[in-house]
Amino acid sequence: MSTVDYYKEPFFTSQTAFPSGETKKLLEGRNAIVTGGGKGIGKGITLRLAAAGANVLIVGCGNMAMAEAAAEEARAFGVKAEAFRADLAEEASAEAIRDKALQLFGGIDILVSNAAYQPNLDIDEYTPERFDQVMQINLWSPLRLVSACAPYLKDSGHGRVIFVSSVHGKRVAGFDIGYATSKGGLQMLMREAAAELRPGNVTVNAILPGGTAIEFKSGDTFTFKAERRERERVYRNPAGQGTPGDNGNLAVFLASDLASYITGVSIRVDGGLVLF
C-alpha cells in the first residue's frame, strides 16, 4: 500500500472567539458522521474534522481495519471517534447509522456522505444489476441518510450536510459512465436538499474532488484495458494530484459557522482540472 498524505497541519482549526483573544476550535463539540471515512478522501475529511474539534462516527463496510485505524488517529486530537460497519446498499443502513451517532454523541451536527462505488466499466460492460448497485450506494444512500438525519440536523441549530461528488459529475470521465452519472445526479440531489432544508437552517453543499492521491479505489484501476487507460491519460491534470487533506480543509470550512451563508453550491477541489 502506498504512503498517502492524509494529514498535514490543517487550516481553519481555530478562531478567535472573544476580544480577549481566547480561541476555540472551529468545530469544538460538534458531532459528525462520515461515510467511507476510513480511507481515501473520507479519511482526509475525518482527520480534518477531528483536528477542528468534531467527534466523528466513521462508517465503513469492506475494510473495517482501516476504519478502526482512522478512528484511533482521530481520537489523538482529543475527540470521540468510533468506527461503525454498515452496508450502504441496504435500506436499513441509514437509520442504523443515525441511531449509532445518537447513541454515541446525543446529537448530529454534520453529515458527510462520502462513500461511493466506482466499478470502472464501459457502457457495454454494465448490467442492470451493476448499474443499480452504483446508484444504490452513490445516490440512494445519500438520500436515505439525509432523510434519516434531517430532524437532528435541524435541532442542531447549525446543521451541515456535505456530499462528496466528483468533477466527473460535471465533465466527461471517459472511463465509468455509471459512476459519472451518479455523481451528476448527486449534485442535483444536493441542490434539492438545500432548498428543502433551508427553512431548518441546515446548509447542504457538495465537494467535487479531482484527481486525488489515495491507495486504491473500488475496482482495479491499475488493470484498465489499454484504451481506457488512454482515455484516463487524456484527462490527466497538468497540476498533478491533490491529497485527501485538500478536500478535508474544505469540509471543515463548510461544516463551520464561517460557511453559514453558503448552501446549494458545488465546489471543485481539482487544481484547475476543468481548465484543461
Q: What is the DSSP string of 41-88?
A: HHHHHHHHHHHTT-EEEEEESS-HHHHHHHHHHHHTTTS-EEEEE--T
Phi and psi at residue 275, to the nearest 5°: -80, -15
Return the pLDDT at 47: 93
More confident residue, 63 or 141: 141
Whole-angstrom Cα distance, residue 22 to residue 70?
30
Whole-angstrom Cα distance, residue 196 to residue 198?
6
Q: Does the structural domain 25-275 have CATH classification 3.30.420.40?
A: no
In this prediction, residue 95 has a pLDDT band, given cuts at 50, 70 and 90, of very high
What pTM does this model have?
0.85
Return the pLDDT at 151: 97
Whole-angstrom Cα distance, residue 183 to residue 139?
8
Return the pLDDT at 135: 93
Q: Is 152 noted as a catalytic residue in this protein?
A: no
Q: Work out the mean pLDDT of the chain and round it to a whole number.
A: 83
**CB 80: neighbour CB atoms within 10 A?**
15
* 23-37, 55-69, 123-137, 237-251, range with the lowest pLDDT: 237-251
* φ/ψ bin of 230: left (φ > 0), alpha (ψ from -120 to 50), beta (otherwise): alpha
More confident residue, 34 or 177: 34
Q: Are 269 and 245 within 8 A, CB to CB?
A: no
101-128: average pLDDT: 92
Return the pLDDT at 18: 57
Whether residue 219 has pLDDT greater than 50: no
SS3 161: strand
Whole-angstrom Cα distance, residue 219 to residue 153?
34
The one catalytic residue among 6, 117, 152, 179:
179
Whether residue 276 has pLDDT greater than 70: no
138-148: average pLDDT: 96
Element (H, E) at 105: helix 93-105
